[in-house]
Amino acid sequence: MFRKKKSPPKKGQPRKSKSLRPAFTRAGIAVLLVSLVAFIFYANYLDKVIRAKFDGKRWSIPAVVYARPLELFPELAFTPEMLEAELQLTGYRKEQQAAAPGGYDRKGNVMHLVTRDFYFTDGPEKSAAVTVTFAGRRVATLSRTDTGERLSLVRLDPARIGSFHPREHEDRVLLTRKDLPDLLVKSLVAVEDRHYYIHFGVDPLAIMRAMFVNLRAGETVQGGSTLTQQLVKNFFLNNRRTLGRKINEALMAVLLEMHYTKDEILTAYANEIFLGQDGGRAVHGFGLASQFYFRRDVKDLTPAQVAMLIGMIKGPSYYDPRRNEQRCLQRRQVVLEMMREAGVISEEQFQTARAARLESSDTIMSGFNRYPAFLELVRRQLDRDYREEDLTGDGLKILTTLDPQVQMQVEKHLSATIATLEKRTNRKGLEGAVVVSSRDGGEILALAGGRHPLKPGFNRALDAQRPIGSLVKPAVYLTALASGYTLATPVDDVAVTLASAGARKWRPANFDKQEHGRVPMYEALAQSYNLATIRVGLEVGVDKVVANVRRLGVDRDFSPYPSFLLGAAPMSPLEVSQMFQTLASGGFYLPQRVIGSVLTADNKVVKRFGLSVEQRFPADLIFVLNNALKRVVSEGTAHSLVSYIPDHINVAGKTGTSDDMRDSWFAGFTGDKLAVVWVGRDDNKPTRLTGSGGAMVVWGKIMQALPLQPLELTEPQGIEWARMDAASLHSLTDYFGEKAWLPFLAGTTPRQTVTARQQAPQQASPPPPAERRRKSGTGLWDTIRGWFR
């Protein structure tokens, strides 16, 4: 009943504090409160990070670059092989029977294909099933596969030829929730997160299950992360396996689920997930992966294809079908079994998918900058109008002028012909560059910056500054014609010595080291006589020749030295192409272009690169000069081109060779195409090749493989035709016959000539050439010339 009285502490013994336990309690509470406040602040910080990135611009979408769309119509010069090659390039797949968009089949000269939706500058083009029949080397008929209705035109979606990426080189095709097929969504949930629609971002049951399995196995064989956690790791965090990162991952997953719906999170996951590597381009999302691996839109994937992609989530490199086919196949089988167990596919679908073969490496489609030299020119032209971040982050669609058919032939024959030339000359290390454009519109159809088209590096077509040799001579004789000369004017091809203060005397020579005496001016151009050219150029003025080179389209300064008259000034193949474009278009300056239009990611047209035309030379002057350039091919230094191109094509062109045969050039045009070829060495050593023996061979091989239209020069008003009389210049006696007929500007026809009107009907000599019969066509240049009359 009585408590025992506590005895007082002995002397020297410390008293026990009554407040010790409450102090520990208060300290603990304070720590908890501080931790809670810190946690709240940190969670709030993470919440802001999540919402800022998820509500804003989630991805930097690269600008996608497309080739020109292929337009088919009856009588088009096109073969089944050409169409099949272009379909393969565009990502179509060959099937037993074309049924879904992006598929085609071929039976002899009949091809069935199902085009894909595409949004062009003039509006959307819907998918359609089309039958194309061929006769010979032309399109015979076009019709709808289902109804048989005849069609006059079919436009295919263009090939994707590259893209401009941000620094991380990620690429993706963005999908909306409506774009995700049920098969993909249900399979993804069944394999990666079966409780996705009921958890709050973290799945405790899955975590405990994974811990149990991993403990039994003695290693990490199963993960417990939800789809939301995987998205957080890929979208916000990194792949380091630390406790701190796992805590952040779980917390951010919960926060993400608090603000966004399951569909929003699932769609973001489908666009973000990494599914492989295409060279330097990272393939992200199911949209791009389905095109890359299967050449299909995601909505057209089969169960086997869906299973392969979902299986690759676990390790895109480890299960890469290109490198680890058997491993990928085994993983696909595991995923298919999980899809069957979850009721996503039936037993019949399972058996069919299990028996399906993996896609071959030929089917896998790289879309990462297939034509780097051409894309570099696209990039440079875009840089004038767009910022870097616009090109690498806003998902622009860039529709270009590249013609895959022309580009294929350029790459094939440039590489093969240079290899042949190396064997012929016993010289290794030859390089080359090619620019091909449309004669009428100035669109660049193809471009090669070297003999190895996919090898990155120095772009010779744009940046190689090499002496152009005799390619400058058309500018010299154009200046002479504008100064009162005619094609029949006698010029002296005899030695000349030039001296200037402080420099050695210069004694130019002809290629054959011979002098040819007095010759008509057109012969001096056709045979590329250096001595005659020097004399003509000095008489009309080197400064005037330089000015005309600028007017032809080479927009930079040159020093007016006499050596300029023989092509000592360096130019790039692209600059030479622009110069000859003005000649080929009848004196009209058209800035060569590679871009047709630019669209935003939501298909709004932001810029059209239309035809810009400026008349810089009189049409009659250019007509006379171009007739002389035709003689270069018919009877001059390019006469051997007939081995590749038939006479009736009437090519006009010019060969060029620099000193010591270091550079070989040829520039020429037909009725529809202009091409410039350079062959040389990067170390500037001699090639042992003339213009006709090197570059012209490459030119001939390329153009021989393409459909060409004959060159028919439209004769402007005021042109007179005459044949030289032997009494006026005895050396012209050998040029009687059709070759002796020459065009003259009105009022410049020489005396003692026989004109077309003067010739007696009973004479047996041939009639004037076809050029003198005026053409009354309604082509592009006839229309444009009418504007300037």
What would you measure as the largest C-alpha separation in the chain, in angstroms? 161
**Which residue has 């091909």 as its token pair?**
436
End-to-end CA distance of the chain: 133
Q: What pLDDT was estimated at residue 227?
A: 86
> What's the token pair of residue 345?
């596919």
Dist CA 40 CA 44 (whole Å): 6
Q: What is the pLDDT of residue 26?
A: 73
Amino acid identity at 778: T
How far apart, in whole angstroms, are the C-alpha atoms of residue 676 and residue 657?
Answer: 13
Cα distance between residue 594 and residue 601, in whole Å: 20
Name every residue whose Cβ is closer than 8 Å to that of residue 231 and which is 6 or more positions away in sequence: 253, 256, 265, 268, 269, 272
**Quick one: which of 330, 326, 352, 395 has its CA closest to 164?**
395
SS3 label, residue 125: strand
Tokens of 154: 């079919």
Distance of CA 771 to the CA centre of its chain: 37
Angle of helix 473-482 versus helix 530-540 axis, rounded to 10: 40
Q: What is the DSSP string of 555-610?
A: -S-----GGGGGT-SEE-HHHHHHHHHHHHTTSEE---BSEEEEE-TT--EEEE--
Contact 239, 214 (CB under 8 A): no
Residue 164 sits at φ, ψ, to 5 deg, of -105, 115
CB-side neighbour CA atoms (13 Å) of 433:
26
CA 339 to mean position of chain CA atoms: 41
Q: How far apart are CA 528 and CA 511, in angstroms?
A: 9
Phi, psi angles (nearest 5°) of residue 689: -125, 130
Instruction: Specify whether the CB–CB gap between 214 and 222 falls below 8 A.
Output: yes
3 state DSSP class of 435: strand
3 state SS of 284: strand
Yes or no: say if 84 and 103 are a contact pair by the CB < 8 Å rule.
no
Q: How many residues does the chain have?
A: 789
Residue 258 and residue 610: Cα distance in Å, rounded? Answer: 50
**214 touches 221 (CB < 8 A):** yes
Give the pair of three-digit tokens for residue 740: 């002796």
What's the CA dihedral at 261, 262, 267, 273 to 10 degrees?
120
E strand or H helix at 653: strand 652-657
Q: How many CA atoms lie within 13 A of 768 on its CB side?
A: 22
Cβ atoms of 68 and 437 within 8 Å: the answer is no
d(CA 328, CA 583): 58
777-783-787 Cα angle (round to 5): 145
Nearest to 707 by CA among 73, 75, 77: 77
Q: What are phi and psi of 170, to 5 degrees?
A: -90, 150
Q: How far apart are CA 279 and CA 322, in angstroms?
A: 13
Whole-number Cα distances in Å, 308 to 188, 191, 243, 349, 734: 11, 12, 31, 15, 76
According to the model, what pLDDT value does residue 771 have? 41
Is residue 663 helix, strand or coil?
strand
Report pTM: 0.80
> What's the DSSP call for residue 768?
P
C-alpha span between 537 and 54 (Å, rounded): 68
CB neighbourhood size of 218 (10 A): 7
Report the interhelical angle of 473-482 vs 542-551 (nearest 10°).
110
> How many alpha carbons fall within 13 Å on the CB side of residue 761?
0
Tokens at 663, concatenated: 């550079």
Just list the catalytic residues: 192, 470
Q: How far apart are CA 188 and CA 391, in angstroms?
A: 33
Distance CA 287, CA 599 (A): 20
Residue 169 in tokens: 């080189």
Rounded to whole angstroms, how far apart are CA atoms 201 and 265? 10
Pick from 357, 336, 358: nearest CA to 348: 336
β-strands 129-135, 138-144 pairing:
antiparallel
Can you list the positions of beta strands (E) in 331-486? 397-400, 430-438, 444-448, 466-467
For position 19, what pLDDT does the model report? 56
Quick one: tokens of 209? 């299950």
Task: Find the DSSP H helices in 197-302.
Answer: 204-217, 227-235, 243-259, 262-272, 285-294
Task: Scan for tokens 């095109």, then name that residue.
Answer: 291
pLDDT for res 192:
87
Q: Which amino acid is at 376?
A: E
Side-chain-facing half-sphere of 371: CA atoms under 13 Å: 30
Query: In the prediction, which pLDDT does 725 show?
Result: 54
Q: Return the exposure string of 753-765: e unless at least 16 CB atoms fall within 10 Å of the residue's CB, then b.
A: bbeeeeeeeeeee
Contact 153, 270 (CB under 8 A): no
Q: Which of 441, 751, 713 is nearest to 586 (CA)?
A: 713
**pLDDT block averages, 10 residues each, the chain of length 789:** 52 54 74 71 69 65 89 96 92 89 94 94 93 95 95 95 68 84 93 86 71 58 72 72 68 79 89 84 87 85 94 92 90 94 93 86 62 92 73 78 96 96 93 97 96 86 97 98 95 90 84 94 96 97 97 94 94 98 96 91 80 90 97 96 96 96 97 98 95 97 96 93 61 46 89 54 40 42 49
Nearest residue to 657 (alpha-carbon basis) of 633, 692, 628, 700: 692
The answer to whether the beta carbons of residues 673 and 691 sit under 8 Å apart is no
Q: Which pLDDT score is estimated for 770? A: 42
Query: For the chain, give me the number of helices (H) and strands (E)?
Result: 23, 31
Listed in sequence order, the DSSP H helices in 705-766 are none
Which residues, at least 6 apart from 667, have a Cβ–Cβ distance to it below 8 Å? 471, 576, 577, 580, 653, 654, 656, 674, 675, 676, 677
Q: Which DSSP letter does residue 110 get?
A: E
